[in-house]
Structure 1
Amino acid sequence: MVRPAPWSEVRDGMARRGVPDEGEGASPAPIFSGYRHRVTEADRAAWQAWADGRAQEAFRRGDEASRAGRFDEAVRWLDRAARMARDNPHVLLALALAQLGAGHWEDVLDTARRISRRWPSREALGLQALACSRMGDLDGALRAVALLLARFAPSAEMFPLAGDLAEAAGFPGWCGANNRGELLGAAPGPVRLRLSGPRGGVREVETLPAALPDGWQVARALDVTCAGRPLLGSPLDLAALRRSEGCVTPVAGGWEGWLWHPADPDFTPLLRIGGQSGEEQSGEEREIALSELAAGTPVDAPLARPRRFFLPSDALPPGPVSVTDIYSAPLPGSPLIPALGRLFDGARSRGLPPGFRPVRVGTRLGTPEIGDRATGWLVVIPAYRDLASLKPCLKRVLADRRDGVEVLVVDDATPEPALARFLDGLAAQGAITLVRHATNRGFPAAANAGLRRAAGRDVVLLNSDTLVPPGWLERLGAVLDRAPEIGTATPFSNDASILSYPSATSVNPVPDTLTARETDRLCAALADAALVDLPTANGFCMAIRGDCLAQTGLLREDLFGRGYGEENEFCLRAAALGWRHVAAPTLFVTHRGSASFGDQRKALMQRNMGVLNALHPGYDGLIRRFHRRDPLAGLRRRLDMARMKLRRGRRPVLAMILHDGGGGVARVVRERGAAFARQGWFVVTIRPDVDGCRVAAAEEDFPNLLFRLPTERDDLVAFLAGIGTRAVEWHHLVGHAPEIRRLHEWLGVPCDIFVHDYAAFCQRIALSGAEGRFCGEPDVAGCIACVRERGSYLGETIGVKALLRRSAREFAAARRVMAPSGDAVRRLQRHFPALSVETVPLEDDAARRVTRRAAGPGRRIGIVGGIGVEKGFDVVLELARDARVRDLPVEFVLIGHTPDDEALMATGRVWVTGEYRGDEIGRLIGGAELDFGLIPSICPETWCFALGDLWRAGVPAVVFDLGAQAERVRRTGLGWVVPPSLPAAMFNNLLLSL
C-alpha cells in the first residue's frame, strides 16, 4: 500500500491553517499541537485516511499514464506520489520506470540509486546500468551490471546490455546464474568454472548457457573464466543467489507462511517439509512448489514476490516438523511444534503440555527461591555473523575481565570462516571458552548452550554486536544486589527498546566511542536513582541472578525459532515466580542492533510476538501500560540535562521560544540560532507540548527535556539557569502554557521579541477577515466583531482589549523588538504608537537577480509553499477556473501543497507537486521552466520566504499590493505589484500581458 509519512512526522500545522469548505479532497480540520491540546487517535486516523487517499490517487493516475505510454504525465503523478509517500520502494520504482520511458536518464539514475541504497535489487541496478549507458558513463554502467550479474539472477531483458558492455569494456563475455541451476551468459570459447567452498573443484564447459557444476548448492562462489580471463560478473556470489527470506507462523487450523529468494524473485521457491529430532532430521521429506503470491508480508523491497503457503495441522507428521527452503536453510519459526499449533487452535489449557498452557500476565505461580549464588560471573556471547562487530565486542569484554569471570562464546555454525578462525585463536590462548554448533540452531539455542554452564553463577547474556565500558560487570552486579528478589538487570543503550537512550520511541544513531564513553560516565552518576521495575529485560545485555536462572529455567528454543522474544518469555515466567526485572541506569552499553536477524527482523517480531501473547495473555497491554507511565522518563531527562550542560561548556545560553507548527518561524529560528552559535552562544529552543514544554538544541538530540507545567515550572527555571541562560528570544507563543510568557522574568534575564505575524493584536494572526481576505485593520470594535463571528486562532481565551494591553506591556518590557520588514514595523507601530521596532531583514534581496524566458503565447506560472486560505488558495482556484472556462493558455505549477490539491488539479490548469524538503526547492523551481512566479497571499506578509525562493532561482514574481511582499518587489524591481481586488478574469488577462 502506498502510504505517506505518519502523523508523527508532520510538522506543518501552521501552514495548514485555514481549510476550504468545498471539495471532497479537502483535508481534515487543522489541528494545532500545544499545551493542553492533545491530538487524539481519531485526529490521527482522519488525517491518515485523507493523506492515504491522496497518495494512492497520485500513484493510480501515474501508473495508469505509464501503462498507456504517456510517460511525461506519468512522471508528474508518480513524482507527486513519491513526495507524499517518501521512500516507498514501489512508488520509487514506478517513478524510475516512467522516467525511463520519458528518456530522463539523469533522473532515472538518481531514483534508482535511491532505491538501491535501501533495497538492493536487480531492477534498480539494471536501471542504473541502462541510465549510465545512455549517458555515456561506461564505468558506471559496468559497475552496476557487474554487481547485478554477481549477486542476482539476471532477467532476459538484461542480456543484450550485459553483452554490449562486456564487449565495450574488453571482457571476453559475461555470466550470471539462477536458482534453477542454470549458468547464463555468452563467451567466445570454452569456459572454465571453479567453485569455492567445501566441495570446490574445476570444470570446463564448451559454451554458455550451461548447467551449474555439481556442488553449487553449497559453494560460496563460482569463478568463470574464458582463456584465463574473467567474464563480466565473475565471481558469482552463489550464497547471495541462494539466500531466502520467509517465515512460518502458527494460526488456527495449521501453519501459514511465505518464502522467496530475493536475488531471484522469478524463481518458484520449493518448501521442504520433514520430521525432525534434535539436530538431525528424520522421517520422510516432501517438497512443495510455491506459486501463489503472498500478500501482507513485511517485505518492502520493490517487485518483491514472496509466495505463500498453508500447512494444515492434520496433514503434518507427528512430532516437531522442520520447514526449510530447498537448500535446507530453516525458515524462521521452524520447527513446527504440535503443541504450539494446538494452542492456536484454541485447545483448552488442561489439554496442553505444561509448557504450552497460557499463563496470564500478573498471575503468581510461586515465590522466588532465593539462595546462595556461586561466586564469579559467566558472560555468554552467542555469535553467528559479523566479525567486524564481534572483534571489538570481545576486545572490550576481555580487557575488563576480572578474576572469576568466564567468557563463553557460542559459535552457532557461522558461515564466515574468518570468524571461526578468530574464535579458535582466542580459545587456543585460553581467553574464551568456545562452544561450537554443527548446524545453525538460532539465538535461543546458542544462548542456552552457554546458560547451561552457569552452575549457580550470575550470568550476563551479551549480544556480539555490543560494546561494554570499563567496570560494566561491577555495576550490573551492584544492581542485582540491591534487593534479593531482583532476577534480571538491563542497562541503558542506544538500541534497547524500552531502555533505549536518548530516545525510547525512535531509532537512535549508534554512538561513536567518545559519545558512548561520555554517556556511560553520565549514567554512572545515577547511582542514587531509585529502582525502576521493568515488564521485561532486554536480551542484548541481560544480567541474570544465578538463583533466578536456576528456578526459572532456560530460554524456550522450541518457541522462538532463530530468536526475538525469547528473553521476554523468560522474564514473564520469572515474574510469575515472583522475580523482579529492573533497569540498570548506571550503565550504558553500545548496541549496533539485529546483526544476526538481517532483513527478516520484522517477520520474526510479528510471528514471535503472536506466540508470546498466546502463551502470556496480556503481554501487549503490559507493555502499553509501561510506555504510558514511562517510569524511566525522569532518568532519561536527568541524562539529557547533564549532557546538555556538558555540551554547552562555558558558552552563554540563548533560549529561543517558538510554536510547534514548523514553517517560516522554524526556519528563522534555525538560521538565527546558527548565527548566534557562530558568535559563541549555545542555543536552545523551547516548543509547546500537550503537558508543558520541550527544550531542545540544534547541536544534538535531547528528546527527554519535557517539563510539565505548571507543576515543574521551578524545575524548568532551575535547569535553564543552571546551564547558564543569559537571554530569551520570543518568536511565537501560540500553543504555549501561560507560564512561558514570564520565563525571562523568573530567570532574571532580558527578553527580545522577533515578530513574525500579527498575533500581538490580531486574534486571527494574519489580519484575515471576511472570506479569509485582508481585513483592513479595523478599530477595536471591528476586531471584536471579527473574533465573535470567525473565532480566534490564539488557542487561549482573551479579549481583544486585554490582548492589546498585554502585548503593550510585553513589548515595553522587552530589550529589543524586531520585525523583518518595514511594512510589518509600520503596522505594529499603528497599534502600539510608542513602540520602537528594529527592521531585521531575513534575506539579502540586493544580491538577487532574475531573468525572463523568451515570451511565448502562453504562461507557466509558479506558486511556492503551503497554500492555505490566507496564502491565496481561493485566488489560485478562481484563476484556474477562469482559465479553463475561457480556454486561456495559462498553467499554474504549485510547488508545495494545499488543503485541497484535487480541487485545483480538477481544473486542468494547476499542477501540484506535493510536499518538498528545503534542499529540493531550487531544483523544483528550476525544473518547472516558469515564465514567472505568483505570490497569491491575500493578507500582508511580514516577510515571505517563497518570494526569496523564486528570486534565488532567477524567477521574477507577481504579488498583491500588500505587506512585505509588495515592499520587497518595489524595492528590488524583481517583479510586479498588482491590486489585491482584481477579479479573476482581469487578473488572468494581466498575467498573459506580462
Structure 2
Amino acid sequence: MSRRAQDAFARGQAALQVGNTSLGLFWLERAERMSRHNPNLKWSVGLACLSAGRITDCLVRMENLRQDFGLREAAFLEVICLVRLQRMDDATSRMQDALSRFHATPQTHPLARQIASEAGRPGWMTASNTGTVFVGTSRPFRLFLDGRERLQGTGGGTYDLPEGWRSARFLEIRAGRRHVLGSPLDIAALTRCESFVEAVGDGLNGWIWSPAEPEYSPRILLWDGSTARAEALSEDVDSDIPLARTRVFHVPASRLPEKDAGPLDLRDENGRLLTGAPVDPRVGQLLSGRPGTLPARLRPVKVRVWKARLRHPRISPGCAVVIPVYADLRRTMACLRTVLATCPDDVSVIVVDDATPEPLLARELDQLAEQGRITLIRHAQNRGFPISANDGMRAAQGRDILLLNSDTLVPAGWVERLRARLAFTDVGTVTPLSNDATILSYPAVDRPNPVPSLAEMRALDRLCQATFRREDASSRDGLELPTAHGFCMAISAECLAEAGLFREDLFAQGYGEENDFCLRASAKGFRHIAAPELFVAHVGSASFGTARKSLGARNLKILNALHPGYDWLVQRFIDADPLHDIRRRLDIARLIRLAGNRVALLMVQHDAGGGVGRVVRERSEMYDAGGGFALALRPHEQGCRLEDALDDRRFPNLKFRLPDELPLLLDVLRAVRVEAIEWHHLIGHAPCIRTLHERLGVPYDVFIHDHVWFCPRISLCDGEGRYCGEPDIAGCEQCVTRWGSYLGEDIPVSELVARSGRELSSARRLMAPCEDTVRRIRRHFPGLTIAAVALEDDTALYRSIRTDHRAAYGQPLRVCVVGGISQWKGYDTLLALAAEIQMHHLSIELSLVGHTHDDDALMALGVRVTGEYREDEVQELIRQQQPDVGLIPSIAPETWCYALGQIWRGGLEAVCFDLGAQGERVNRSGTGLAVPLGIPPFQLAMLLLRRWSDAR
C-alpha cells in the first residue's frame, strides 16, 4: 500500500478498536480506494461493513475474495451474509461448497447446524488434516471413501478417518441414502498445501501452509524418510493470498548429506513435492557470496556477446511437438484439440503427463494415446516442468522440438511457420508473439493482456500473417532476442544436442529453465529469434499459488548467479525495445480494420484526463453512435500517442516520435479517413500538431475548455491562488514573470494572444461549455462566433435538488465538497474554512468526496477526505457523508464544473462563488447561493449556518 493508504488503514483500525465503526469504515474505505487491488484491505473493509450492517457490501467483497483466492474465511463469511439477507437457498449452496472444500472451525459449527436443519439435511460434516472428521447428526451414518464404505457411526461426534484416506479423492457421509451437508468432501482441496523451499548458506529454508485449514501445521517429508514440522508463523513471505498463514521451517546444514548428493526431494505429507524441490543444497553456497569450491555444474559463466555461428541452410531431421501436462482438463484438452487439428502428419505429438491429479484428464490422454494420436509418457509422481519437458525431448530422438505449454491455443500453420524460421544453422530457438509472453507480448508488454478466445486468437494470427508476410530485406534473418520464451518455443535439434537439455537440478517446477538453456545455447553461437508472423494464445502462469513470487524470485537469483549479467542483457533489450515497430505495425493494421468504411474524427487532447477527458469521451460516443469512428491524440514523451477514443488501452503501441515520424502518423490518419480534427487541448503537444489539419487537408473545430488561449497560467489565478481579474497584456506579462507559465513553451503573452486569435478565427467551429466562457473569450478575441454547448442537462438536474432540506435540530451542519481540489479549485478556501470552524467551535462538519495535494492538512482540521474515487462511486460516497448542502470552493471562473452536477444529483443545494460557469449555473437554478468572491471564511461559515441549519 502507499503511505497514505497505510495511514488511512491505521486510522481505521484504531477507530474500530475503540468501537467507532462508522469512522473506522470511513478510513478503511479510503484506504481501499487508494489501493484497489489489495485483497487484505478488501477483507478488512468487508468485516467493517458487516459490523456496520452493510451486509450486501460485505457479501460482494467476500464473493470476490473467495472467487479470486479460494479464501476459506471469505467462503464462510459469505454464508453468514446470505443468512442475514435471508437468502437461505443461496446460503445452503454456498455452505455445501465451503464444507466440501475447507475445514470448519468450531465457531462455524452453529451456522452449519442451523443451515443443515433449515435445508432439511440429516446433518453436516467437516474433516481435518489431523485425520479426523466431525459429523453433526443424531442419526446413524456411513462413511465412504471413493464410493467404498469404510466406517459406520451411530450418531454425531468426532471420528478417526480410515487409514489411507489421504490417497482417496472423495469422502462421503450418508445418513440413510442422503448426504449430510458438506458431503461429498474433496480430499485434494482439503489436504492441498502451498509451500516453498530454497537453499541458503546454512541449509534449507522454506515455508508451508494448508489453505483449507490454516491453523494446521503440516509435516514435511525429507529425502531420507525423516520428517520436519513447520510451526512458527512467518512474517515476511510476499504472498498474493490474503490471510495466508505460512509456517516456516529450516533444515540445518548438519542434516544435509555429507557428500554432494545433488538435488534433494522434500514433500508434503500427501507426497507432493514442495514448490522449489528438488533443491540442490550447493546452490546456497553459490548464492551466499562465499562460493568456495563449487562443483562444475554450478560454476558461473558471465554473459557476453558470443561469436555467432556461420549461417547456412540446414535440413531438418524431423520435428516433434512436446507438451508437458499436469492439470486443468478444460484448458489442456482445448490446447490438444488445436494442436492435433493443425499438426502435419509427419510431426508427432508427445504428451508428458506429470502425474495429473485429475482422473478425467488422465482418461482423456489415455484415449488419445490408444487412438494413436499422441505419444503418452506418464510420471508416477509429479516432477515439474523442466523434467517433463526433458522426458518429452528425449523421446523425440534427435528431432527439432516444438515445446508447448498446455495452456496455449495454436492456429493453423503454426508448425510450418516455426520450422521455416529454423531453416538456418545459426538459429537455435524461435518464439512467436502471444498475449502473455513477457518481451514477446502483444498488444501490451507493460501490463496484462486479455486472454483471447479461440476465434480471437485466429483473427490475431491472420493479422500477423498478413502484416509480416513480406518482410523487409533487413529483417529476413529475424529479430534477435536475448532468450526464448518457453510457452511456445521451437528448438533446433543441433542446438539441443550442443547446449544440452533443461537443467533438472536447479529450477524445480519451472521459471528460468528456458532462459538458462538459451544462455548456454548463445555461448555455442546459436541465435534466438522472434516469429512475428505467428500468434499463439497463452492463458499465463496460474501455477504455484502462494509460492509463485517466491519461486520466481529464487530462480531469478539462481539465473543471475549462474550467468552474471543476465539482468543487464534483458534490461538492455527492454530499453531498446526492438519489437516496438513490430507491435506498432500490428496496431496500425488492427486500427485500419476497426475503422473499416467509417470516417474518423480526431480529438486532440492533453494527457491529464479530468473534465477534458470526459468531454472527449462523451463527444466520441455521440460521434460513434452516428456511425463515425473517434480517435484521440495525446502527447507522449517525445511525440504523441494515437488511441481509440472509446478504449485507450486497445492500441498501446501507436506512439510516434515527432517530428521525425510525422509522415508515418499522417499516413495512418489518412488510412483511417480522418475527415476533421477537434482541438480540445494542445498542452504538451509538439508544434507540428497545430498544423496537422493543413497537412491532412481537413477542417478543424475548437472546443474551449479553459482560458489557455490568453492566460499562460490557464486558470486566471496568480501564484497565491487569487483570481487575477484578467488584466491587459502588460499585466499578464508581469504575472507570468513573477509566477511562471504552465504552457510548456517559451512564448510571450502578446504572441500567445496573437497566435490564438489566428487559430480561433481559422477554425470551422468554436464551442464552449457556458455563456460565461463565451463572454470571456470574446472579450479578448472580439468578433468570434462561439456556440455554448452545455455538458450536462441542468434542467433535469434541477429536479433532483431538495430545496427545503435543513440540518436536523441539534445536529451539526454537514457540508460536502466534491472533486479533486487544487489550489484554483479552492484548496486554500477550504483549508481556511476548516480552520475557522475549528477555532470557533462552529457546528459544521466538512467532508470532501475527493482528494487534494495535501489531504493531511485538511484532515488535521477535522475534514473527512474520502480520497480518489471512480465516477460510479461518487453518489454513494456523497450519500455516506449524509450532507445537508454542497460547496463548490473554486476561486477561478470554471468553464463548466462537473462537481456541481454531482452535488445536484445528490439532492443538495450548492454554494459557490459568483463567477464562472459555477456562478452562472447556480444563479440560473434558482437554488443555493452564489456568494461574492473573497468573502471571509468565517462569514461564509455563518452564512451556511443561517441558511441550512435548523435553528429551532
Say whether the fold is shared (TM-score over 0.5).
yes
- Cα offset for 1:370? 8.1
2:847 aligned partner: 893
User: Which of 365, 368, 371 is the aligned partner of 1:429?
Assistant: 371
Structure 2, gaps ≥5 residues long = 948-952
Larger mean Cα displacement after TM superposition, 600-609 or 635-644 = 600-609
Q: Please, what is the CA RMSD of the aligned residues?
A: 1.8
User: Which of 211, 215, 224 is the aligned partner of 1:266?
Assistant: 215
Question: Are residue 177 (structure 1) and residue 127 (structure 2) matched?
Answer: yes
Q: Distance in 2 between matches of 1:751 and 1:777?
A: 28
- Cα offset for 1:637? 0.3
User: Which of 507, 511, 519 is the aligned partner of 2:448?
Assistant: 507
- Cα offset for 1:299? 1.5
Question: Are residue 643 (structure 1) and residue 590 (structure 2) matched?
Answer: yes
Question: Are residue 389 (structure 1) and residue 336 (structure 2) matched?
Answer: no
1:36 aligned partner: none
Conserved 8 A contact 2:113-2:136: yes
User: Which of 797, 811, 819 is the aligned partner of 2:768?
Assistant: 819
SS in 1 for 2:165: coil
1:487 aligned partner: 428
- Cα offset for 1:819? 0.5
1:460 aligned partner: 402
Please tell me the residue identity of whatever aligns with 1:869: Q
Please tell me the residue identity of whatever aligns with 1:933: G
User: Which of 773, 782, 785 is the aligned partner of 2:734?
Assistant: 785
Q: Residue by residue, what CA displacement relative to the aligned partner does 1:79-108 show, whole Å, maximum 9, x if unpaired?
A: 111111113122121222222222322222
Q: Residue by residue, what CA displacement relative to the aligned partner does 1:150-203 show, whole Å, maximum 9, x if unpaired?
A: 211112221111111221221222211221222124111222111128xx5431
Q: Distance in 1 between matches of 2:395 and 2:56?
A: 60
SS in 1 for 2:643: strand
**Distance of aligned partners of 1:412 and 1:943 in 2 relative to their CA distance in 1, 3 Å threshold:** same
User: Which of 679, 689, 698 is the aligned partner of 2:636?
Assistant: 689
Q: Distance in 2 between matches of 1:369 and 1:312?
A: 51
Q: Distance in 2 between matches of 1:311 and 1:617?
A: 28
Q: Residue by residue, what CA displacement relative to the aligned partner does 1:465-510 show, whole Å, maximum 9, x if unpaired?
A: 11111111111122222x4201111000111111010011110001
Question: Are residue 144 (structure 1) and residue 85 (structure 2) matched?
Answer: no
Q: Distance in 2 between matches of 1:254 and 1:368?
A: 46
Q: Distance in 2 between matches of 1:535 and 1:787?
A: 51
**Distance of aligned partners of 1:249 and 1:608 in 2 relative to their CA distance in 1, 3 Å threshold:** same
2:271 aligned partner: 328
1:927 aligned partner: 880
1:942 aligned partner: 895
SS in 1 for 2:278: coil
Larger mean Cα displacement after TM superposition, 119-128 or 412-421 = 119-128
Q: Residue by residue, what CA displacement relative to the aligned partner does 1:296-343 show, whole Å, maximum 9, x if unpaired?
A: 323122221101223333431242322121222111211221332332
Question: Are residue 524 (structure 1) and residue 465 (structure 2) matched?
Answer: yes
Larger mean Cα displacement after TM superposition, 623-632 or 597-606 = 597-606
Conserved 8 A contact 1:159-1:185: no
Question: Are residue 808 (structure 1) and residue 808 (structure 2) matched?
Answer: no
Q: Distance in 1 between matches of 2:222 and 2:354?
A: 23
SS in 1 for 2:90: helix
Q: Distance in 1 between matches of 2:132 and 2:886?
A: 58
User: Which of 282, 286, 302 is the aligned partner of 1:339?
Assistant: 282
Please tell me the residue identity of whatever aligns with 2:932: P
1:590 aligned partner: 537
2:871 aligned partner: 918
Question: Are residue 727 (structure 1) and residue 680 (structure 2) matched?
Answer: no
User: Which of 869, 881, 885 is the aligned partner of 2:835?
Assistant: 881
Paired residue total: 930
Q: Distance in 2 between matches of 1:157 and 1:368?
A: 71
Question: Are residue 654 (structure 1) and residue 605 (structure 2) matched?
Answer: no
2:153 aligned partner: 205
Conserved 8 A contact 1:958-1:975: yes
Q: Distance in 2 between matches of 1:715 and 1:890?
A: 59
**Distance of aligned partners of 1:363 and 1:647 in 2 relative to their CA distance in 1, 3 Å threshold:** closer
Question: Are residue 978 (structure 1) and residue 928 (structure 2) matched?
Answer: no
1:558 aligned partner: 505
Conserved 8 A contact 1:371-1:547: no
Q: Distance in 2 between matches of 1:342 and 1:747?
A: 65
SS in 2 for 1:772: coil
1:120 aligned partner: 70
Please tell me the residue identity of whatever aligns with 1:887: H
Q: Residue by residue, what CA displacement relative to the aligned partner does 1:648-706 show, whole Å, maximum 9, x if unpaired?
A: 10000111111111111111111111110001111111111112111110256000001
Q: Distance in 2 between matches of 1:545 and 1:67?
A: 64
Q: Structure 2 matches for 1:613-632, cutoff 5 A?
A: 613-632=560-579
- Cα offset for 1:596? 4.6
Conserved 8 A contact 2:199-2:282: no
SS in 1 for 2:883: coil
User: Which of 614, 621, 637 is the aligned partner of 1:667?
Assistant: 614
SS in 1 for 2:714: coil
2:227 aligned partner: 287
Please tell me the residue identity of whatever aligns with 2:90: G
- Cα offset for 1:599? 4.9
* Larger relative contact order, structure 1 or 2 (CA cutoff 8 Å, min sep 6): 1
Conserved 8 A contact 1:664-1:945: yes
Q: Residue by residue, what CA displacement relative to the aligned partner does 1:115-141 show, whole Å, maximum 9, x if unpaired?
A: 223222122122222222222222232
Question: Are residue 853 (structure 1) and residue 790 (structure 2) matched?
Answer: no
**Distance of aligned partners of 1:446 and 1:790 in 2 relative to their CA distance in 1, 3 Å threshold:** same
2:10 aligned partner: 60
Structure 1, gaps ≥5 residues long = 4-51, 275-283
Q: Residue by residue, what CA displacement relative to the aligned partner does 1:209-233 show, whole Å, maximum 9, x if unpaired?
A: 2222322211222111223322111
2:438 aligned partner: 497
SS in 2 for 1:795: coil
2:950 aligned partner: none
Conserved 8 A contact 2:199-2:281: no
Percent identical across equivalent pairs?
Answer: 49
1:965 aligned partner: 918
Q: Structure 2 matches for 1:306-455, cutoff 5 A?
A: 306-318=246-258, 319=261, 320-346=263-289, 348=291, 351-362=293-304, 364=306, 373-455=315-397
Q: Structure 2 matches for 1:236-251, cutoff 5 A?
A: 236-251=185-200
Q: Residue by residue, what CA displacement relative to the aligned partner does 1:919-969 show, whole Å, maximum 9, x if unpaired?
A: 111222223221111111110110000111122222221111010011111
Q: Residue by residue, what CA displacement relative to the aligned partner does 1:535-579 show, whole Å, maximum 9, x if unpaired?
A: 000111100111111111111111111112111111010001110
Q: Distance in 1 between matches of 2:189 and 2:161?
A: 15
Q: Distance in 1 between matches of 2:788 and 2:89?
A: 54
SS in 2 for 1:358: coil
- Cα offset for 1:251? 2.7
2:496 aligned partner: 549
TM-score (norm 1): 0.91
Larger mean Cα displacement after TM superposition, 973-982 or 637-646 = 973-982
Q: Distance in 1 between matches of 2:163 and 2:215?
A: 23
Larger mean Cα displacement after TM superposition, 210-219 or 959-968 = 210-219
